[in-house]
Amino acid sequence: MENITELKVAPLTESRFVKPLRLHYKQDDIPKVWDIIQCHASVAVVLFNITNQTLVFVRQFRPPVYFSALRRAQGQIEPGSEINLCAANPKKGITLELCAGIVDKNKSLAEIAQGEILEECGYEVPIGNIRQIQTFPSSVGVGGESATLFYAEATSDMRKGKGGGVVEEGELIEVVEMSLTETRAMMNQPEVTMPPMALYGLSWFFMNKMSLT
């Protein structure tokens, strides 16, 4: 997963996933501008295996996270810049996340969450086991797109496949099941490789589903 080679940076001219835009507006009659990245809404799922009492996560290489580590190590990187991959270990680009996905299909948010649980984690969870927790804006400084968090309970016999994402789409995902004790210990670390929505989802889980000790 962390065997990253031949990384190059190019200007973005068109993308299925993101579009940089500049907004011009007036606030209290004062002209202002704000640069944004338009992108898809998303869903994420706190997935709890009630048979094993484990939380189910996905581990994957996130190019933007690695790029940020490279920039911290190497300084500004422009399109065409020489990139020294030894400056930062590609492991720095590996995150632990909730099962998640973009809203790019004409399905309900719960159905999209259900599809991601199967694709990424291999569990076939009935829609009735998937409960919406909350919707909120994410990346408010640049994106602001809507993110919806779900909670789903699974049993071990609902595991029908390995998960791992859609190979044809180039997804390379490792399913990680962690005990509640391991999860709490990870959450208490001063630095984690987990995005805020996942940390929030876990806090919700421990507050609402498990009594905090």
Ligand X SMILES: Nc1ncnc2c1ncn2[C@@H]1O[C@H](COP(=O)(O)OP(=O)(O)O[C@H]2O[C@H](CO)[C@@H](O)[C@H](O)[C@H]2O)[C@@H](O)[C@H]1O
Task: Calculate the dihedral angle through the C-alpha atoms of 185, 1, 167, 177, rounding to the nearest 10 degrees.
Answer: -20
Size of the site for ligand X (CB under 6 A): 14
- Binding region for ligand X (CB under 6 A) out of 6-14, 24-32, 68-76, 99-107: 99-107
Contact between 103 and 112 under an 8 Å Cβ cutoff? The reply is yes
User: Which range, of 74-82, 95-103, 126-134, 156-164, touches ligand X by CB under 6 A?
Assistant: 95-103
- Gyration radius of the chain's alpha carbons: 19
Q: Phi and psi dihedrals of 95, rounded to 5?
A: -115, 160
Q: Is residue 100 involved in binding ligand X (CB under 6 A)? A: yes
Determine, following the binding rule CB under 6 A, whether residue 176 of this chain makes contact with ligand X. no
Cβ proximity to ligand X: between 21 and 51 the closer is 21
Residues 103-162 that bind ligand X (CB under 6 A): none
CB atoms within 10 A of CB 115: 14
Closest approach of ligand X to the CB of residue 194, in Å: 9
| Shortest Cβ 98–ligand X spacing (Å) | 6
Record the tokens describing residue 82, joined without a space: 């020489």
Amino acid at residue number 185: A
Distance of closest approach, residue 69 Cβ to ligand X, in angstroms: 17
Helix (H, G, I), strand (E, B) or coil at 89: coil
> Rounded CA gap, 10 and 154, in Å?
42
User: Quick one: which of 42, 49, 129, 148 contacts ligand X (CB under 6 A)?
Assistant: 42
Interaction site with ligand X (CB under 6 A): 17-18, 42, 44, 97, 100-102, 165, 169-171, 195, 197
